Chains A and B, each alone.
Chain A
Amino acid sequence: MSVASVTVSRREILKPKMVKIYVMGREYLVPEGLTIHKALEYAGFRLIRGVGCRGGFCGACATLYRKPGEYKLRIALACQNVVEDGMYLVVLPYTPIPRVKYKLESLKPDVGLVLKLYPEIARCVACNTCTKACPQGLQVMDAIQAIKRGDLAKAADLTFDCIACGICSMRCPAEIRHANIFHLVRRIYGKYMSPKPRHLEDKIKEIEQGKYREELEKLKQASVDELKKLYASRVIEPEE
């Protein structure tokens, strides 16, 4: 084995390089390398709206921005993306996407169902704006087209990583309510179309029949030393 040099020279950062950003039009100077959230906080904003998990999962921080000299409207997640010099940005406080109530247990998972609840799907002109707007890089339009064809399994798979930030719906010329449609489609797939785990039913039966009751009772009463012995003597199942 070769010996690596342990010390990596620390970059002397006495004065971090500052970049100019425009928060809802007003200019602020912030250090480069910060996420949009952290830059806003550095600038003095105390966040309430447009912030949630701060890890790219909750979709609360959909952000729109333009860069100088460009016509293109770009998208970002304020918790994930880093500020850039000259960025004109707004973190959306809310995206209005009304949902339709439904009763999952009495739905029939047929082709027309989703179209009946969300008829605007039929207005999709396949412009692909939704796909281009997705901060997760999902094939949003393909999912809508799959739903139109009645291929809910495909749509469920394509939209699984959707974080419901709502940007696609804000950009869609057909005014489709994507995230809510995708929630519905995935639940239909999960409940009616995905194969069922039989081993789960078996284990539930065993528990209901009281198979483990006595042994659990013993474990609850056991001394810590007895538990330690049991713990240390477990056989750890190998990886697949």
Chain B
Amino acid sequence: MSMCGYPSEIKKLIKYVEETREERLKKPYRRLSLEEREKLLKEWHPDYKPGTKRPLRVGVCKGTVVYNEVADLLEAWPLIDPDQIDLSKVDYDVDVLVIGSGGAGLAAALWAIYSGVSPDAVLLVTKLRLGDSNTVKAQGGIQAADRPEDSPILHFIDTVGGGLFANKRDLVEALVTDMPFIMKWLEDLGAMFDKNPDGSYVEVSGGGACRRRLHCARDYTGLEILRVLREEFLNYDVPYLEFTPAIELLTDPEDGGVSGAVLYNLETGEYYVASAKAVIIATGGAGRLHIAGFPTSNHYGATMDGVVMGYRAGANIVHLDTFQFHPTGVAFPEAIRGELITEKCRSLGAQLVNVHGEQFIHQLETRDVVSSTIIKECAEGRGIITPTGAMGVWLDMPMIDMLRGPGTIKKALPAMYRQFIRHGIDITQEPVLTYPTLHYQNGGIEIDVFSRVLRPNGEPIPRLLAAGEVGGGVHGRNRLMGNSLAGILVFGRRAGITAAKTVKETSTRPKLSLKHLEKYIEELKSIGVPRERSSPILLPDYRGEKVLLRSLRIF
């Protein structure tokens, strides 16, 4: 194992961090004003960098500006030719089809069942294994305003302020008022959150939050939530298909609503036709698109499939010209570059420090602002250059044990400790090198408070629901820490409830067609999209160049 730790030329810089530590421990860094924050974002945040975006040339949001990587996916040929799919033979005839098995998909399936849908009338399909998702990688925590000092009002104000006031406010209201109920649900399901001996939650601060509101399960919060939901899901014996993503929605030409999906077996190459009275898209985010050339903290399947399918079926898209770059991705060691260093490190007191040992930002400003200052420090020559030429600043981890007592890191951040000790870096003794990493899709296909997917005119697309990272509106232009786990459960639950209601109201099975796709293909033809560009991409392709150049597709 290469347990080498830092190379000597970096290791010797650590003394500058240590020299200023005592001083920094004593004096809290000042917070920035709204004006100062805006200035930083405009000058340094990737969202404002020219040349990274363009207006869409096809679909219902033609003219809307999105990141180039998003436009490339939406201005791309479908994986299927509508003529080659036989829709007369239905392989799965169900009431509710759930696409995706992260927290949002599992919550949706469970709440559809709680709301009266028979478990065997649900089908959940997922691209990798059941539960493979960004949910399991969510380390820091989940926000719920449940302390006496806190309220949904403050959670609301924090969330819209963090979102640069662009959030859909009724979605934020749903988020902040549902969350205490969601915590109760998780308690009832036996999820283990960090607690004080009297049973009260241990709650810490998140960036941009004015109260300690983050509920944690060590630094495995998302994993704990997901495995509890997955256990509950499996106990209901719900039919599910692994390694079988949806690759296109089906629509009923009579009302333009959604009626099912075309599924694809990743291992055999076979397609299946699923018919449903309600379809829930819970496909997650898009980190594996490497927006603006950034590494990502996302799981292997985060390729924006849901937005692609939903957009082709007429969904409005919002805020896809903004992505969240998490301030503290791993900058070194190279082997795990881009992986996440949870914000909980900063919640517990770790400060950000440049090569001179100077703190340059309060560690709990919002993520967009903190990322911008890190990019600025590095661009202006106050960063640390790693042996592979990557840059970063220090996150002063040993402060945590100094502030909160020896043993805090190993107890509260065991995943972080493991991640670095595997590469010979002991975070209880040494700071870590960090640089922003592509983390979260702030926007997506627009939903309403019932998790219904909306058209650009505000009308819901019949029978189509969405929840989790794929849905847009709730987080505005920048999501707060702890609001993603909250969002997947709040809107997953609502999607499940709406799906059950939709099933009751849908007496006749909607017709299956790919009419919407035929129309979309005409548009693609008219702008001359290159033939080799197709989507959804399903999985990133990281194969070595040398191999690809000699690849023969004969088997």
| Residues of chain A whose beta carbon lies under 8 Å from any beta carbon of chain B | 1-4, 6-11, 13, 32-35, 38, 41-49, 51-58, 60, 80-82, 84, 99, 101-105, 136-137, 156, 160-161, 163-164, 183-184, 186-192, 194-204, 207, 212, 215-216, 219-220, 224, 227-228, 230-232, 234-237, 239-240
Contact = CB atoms under 8 A, between A and B. Distances in A.
B356 A10 contact: no
Given A4-B355, A99-B234, A32 B2 contact: yes
B205 A237 contact: yes
The 3 closest A-B pairs by CB, nearest first: A195-B199, A187-B190, A44-B547
A10 B2 contact: no
Contacts of B527: none
A176 B170 CA distance: 49
B543 A212 contact: no
Contacts of A44: 543-544, 547-548, 551
A59 B357 CA distance: 37
A110 B222 CA distance: 28
A193 B405 CA distance: 27
Interface in B423-447: 423
22 contacts: A8-B10, A8-B13, A51-B300, A53-B134, A53-B299, A55-B299, A55-B336, A80-B336, A136-B418, A160-B220, A161-B218, A183-B227, A194-B192, A195-B197, A195-B199, A197-B183, A198-B198, A199-B147, A216-B173, A227-B161, A234-B210, A236-B31
A90 to B, nearest CB: 18
B51 interface: no
A42 B133 CA distance: 24
Interface stretch (B148-156, B454-462, B482-490, B506-514): B148-156
Nearest to B355: A4
Interface residues of B, number: 114
Contact of A10 (B184, B217, B389): B389
Contact of B169 (A183, A202, A220): A220
A35 B160 contact: no
B153 A58 contact: no
Contacts of A203: 145-148, 180
B165 A227 contact: yes
A231 B129 contact: no
B297 interface: yes
A8 B6 CA distance: 13
Given A4-B357, A200-B201, A55 B340 contact: yes
B358 A1 contact: yes
B153 A200 contact: no
B200 A48 contact: no
B544 A43 contact: yes
Contacts of B33: 232
B533 interface: no
A81 B154 CA distance: 43
B356 A3 contact: yes
B489 to A, nearest CB: 15
B298 to A, nearest CB: 8
Interface string B108-151: 00000000000000000000110111101100000011111101
B13 A104 contact: no
Contacts of A81: 1, 422
Contacts of B189: 104, 187, 190-191
A231 B16 contact: no
Contacts of A47: 300, 539
Given A8-B13, A228-B34, 13 more contacts: A10-B389, A32-B2, A53-B136, A57-B137, A82-B423, A156-B192, A160-B218, A191-B189, A219-B160, A228-B165, A232-B34, A237-B212, A239-B205
Contact of B157 (A160, A161, A231): A231
Contacts of B494: none
Interface string B73-113: 00000000000000000000000000000000000000000
A187 B231 CA distance: 9
A102 B236 CA distance: 9
A8 B2 contact: no
Given A6-B381, A80-B419, A102-B235, A194 B131 contact: no
B388 interface: yes
A101 B237 contact: yes
A184 B189 CA distance: 11
B146 A41 contact: no
B555 interface: no
Given A99-B234, A197-B201, A48 B190 contact: no
A207 to B, nearest CB: 6
A216 B422 CA distance: 47
Contacts of B2: 32-33, 82, 84
A45 B543 contact: yes
Interface in B234-267: 234-235, 237, 243, 266-267
A187 B226 CA distance: 12
A44 B356 CA distance: 42
A35 B190 contact: no
A58 B419 CA distance: 13
Contacts of A51: 128, 300
Given A1-B356, A197-B195, A60 B128 contact: yes
Contacts of A200: 144, 146, 180, 183-184, 187, 201
B180 A207 contact: yes
B227 A41 contact: no
A212 B532 CA distance: 54
Nearest to A191: B190
B275 to A, nearest CB: 27
Contacts of B200: 197-199
Contact of B137 (A53, A101, A224, A236): A53
A157 to B, nearest CB: 9
A55 to B, nearest CB: 5
B1 A58 contact: no
A215 B220 CA distance: 35
B49 to A, nearest CB: 24
Contact of A38 (B335, B418, B423, B551): B335
